[in-house]
Structure 1
Amino acid sequence: MSSESISQSINVVHPITLSHGKNAEVWDTEGKRYIDFVGGIGVLNLGHCHPRIVEAIREQASRLTHYAFNAAQHSPYIDLMQRLTAFIPVDYPVSGMLTNSGAEAAENALKIVRGATGRSAVIAFDGAFHGRTLATLNLNGKVAPYKQKVGTLPGPVYHLPYPSKDNGVTCAEALKALDRLFSVEIDVNDVACFIVEPVQGEAGFLALDVEFAQALRRFCGEKNILLIADEIQSGFGRTGERFAFSRLGIEPDLILLAKSIAGGMPLGAVVGRKALLDTLPKGGLGGTYSGNPVACAAALATLDEMTDANLQAWGAQQEEAIVSRYQAWRRDKISPYLGRLTGVGAMRGIELAHADGTPAAAQLSQLLALARDAGLLLMPSGKSRHIIRLLAPLTTEAAVLEEGLDIFAACLARLD
């Protein structure tokens, strides 16, 4: 990081400075073009500067740039919540609140479940990522770098193995760990909620085991424990559906939203069963900037574009391109470090591993630099920082997507 005015505790993956972008392409201040497979870490499912979103921002900015909804209501907040709650694919009455970020959505969800259940314990999963605020840090299933040097974290929080075909943890193993947890660590009657990502992001795009998800939903219902689905990265079409929990055949009680909700504007939400959202006393929820009018206008324009037909078409096109190219790379043996393909839909990770299956973290770092020099931006993930997570906009033009995958393959073949 070049500026001494910026905290050196912020880590930047790519040592470049961006100037502008359009859909899946960005340019740095030196004029160099890059294909963007990072997408603001999952924020830009509709790409950079989508014309409909830009116009909505401009129009709203000329009318009302801000008002604290706790002080007086404004139309963009009301209109968005009506549209957003209708967009949630569940059978129960939905309500919610807007926040500034995903972490803030998670924090408010914790308040809601405490108020609704009278309990405080939370169960999360190994490899999870739910935010960088103090309470969400303890939910994360990874110590370095998030939990280092920050002292005692809010709790109590317990973690279970995350079962997925992508990490080799089975449903049976996770259920056995669940049984042990309640036999050894905590009384089940003290647990307020489980919080789970239908597809883990930070861990390398690991898709939750369907059998386990359904068993967990039944368990929560039997024990009066709430189930929170963190759809902050997996939501808004990334898996080819509105939200990834639909593929699991379950309905969570609360859903956390952010990232691609508003085309790049800072916005999040916690939505779910209306009875839960109405539990806390008046004034128990809210925030000065939560549901800013300009961000709400951007989100309304985003929802206009996210029809089921569009999401399915975009997801299928991108999934087919990624999977077919990956299979060809495996068949042609273009690199000894090409490992598994993780995830579902267009939410895909590509693992780099040695022949014995151990993570090839050094080669991933090399790949990041080679690809950047060749005009492609990539994002690392995984416990050992050995999985590339592909987050190109869903709206990426076919030719640009193929160009990016060509660069990826060429750089992969060059790894030492």
Structure 2
Amino acid sequence: MQERPIIIFSKSHHNGQEVLIVGFEYNLELKEYVKKFPGIQWSSGLRSFYTLFTREITNSLFQYLRAKNYYIDYSAISNKRKNDRHDGAKKKFVLDANISQDLKKNIKLFREWMQQKRYSLNTINTYESMLLQFFRFKHPKPIHSITETDIIDFNTNYILANRFSYTYQNQAINTIKLFYRDRVNCILIADGLERPKKSKKLPVVLSIDEVKSILASTPNLKHKTLLSLLYSCGLRIGEALGLRVRDIDMKRRFMHVRSAKGSKDRYVPLPERMKALLIEYYSCYEPNDFVFEGQNGGAYSTVSARQVLKRSLLNTGIEKPITLHTLRHSHATHLLENGTDLRYIQELLGHNSAKTTMIYTHVSSTSLDKIKNPFDEFDL
């Protein structure tokens, strides 16, 4: 099997602008694919492809490349405040592309094991990518010579130095631990290894008027139907794009969400207004298999869905940091504010634990409004 190329993101200045450099060893298939990304150019001086460096463009390009399962090393551009003397962060370590043939073989076998265990494709790709980063960091150390000290070294001088998130740090440790348990049949990481404390961030939530404003700013019927479905049924974007026509029962007004997060199926009720919008959409677009299909068939891409939301937000004046997942958060919060029991919301969203659903009590305006503030009794 042909080895997939490794792509390295870095920053530079070109023609007076800050640009994103897209570096990789020559690969014709990858070269032709990169050339199709909007706004990307070739520079003879830089001897690389480049595009304007913005957060939005970088994220879009990352998702565009990941759609083809390419590996992207973005350690050279991860956010790090300069001259920060309070966090003890070390200079970032940029990985090279080397990895032994023995490791490639073992990672391939580990990927096949995950496929047999029915891990989601997204999880498989993430774990594989993390293993590649770890072993490239420790190159040329052989697989059987790795110790817990190497994990601490990777955690300190790569993950923390590059300011990667709590989630990334914890997932990387779990990935290495699982790999060694399956491939080397050993417990490499002791249970006593310190884990990061999880940050407790509250989700951004839209008001009902803001949701209406976004949908009103989406004239395209297909795009409006997609965003409406995300909000009205509280779906994750992967769940919405994975829906097939056969999964929606118009008569009973239910949809069957298959193999959602955690490989769990669930049924979600379809609001009457959403049913009417879907009927209109079906009549116009006549989807064959997936409810939302791309121009060349198959499921609509996540990158395209993000662009849909981005365009819809332009004319709304909303300045909140909004993603497609914000529509799901808003759906759950509005249900809670309308008096829906948390247990039902948990079932509708497909949460494993009620603790996950409880977060919406912290952002619900109805719950907060019930608090009687003593300042209201002041006579000023």
Normalising to structure 2: TM-score of the pair?
0.26
- Bigger proportion of residues as helix: 2
For CA contacts below 8 A with separation 6 or more, give which structure has more relative contact order.
1
More strand by share: 1
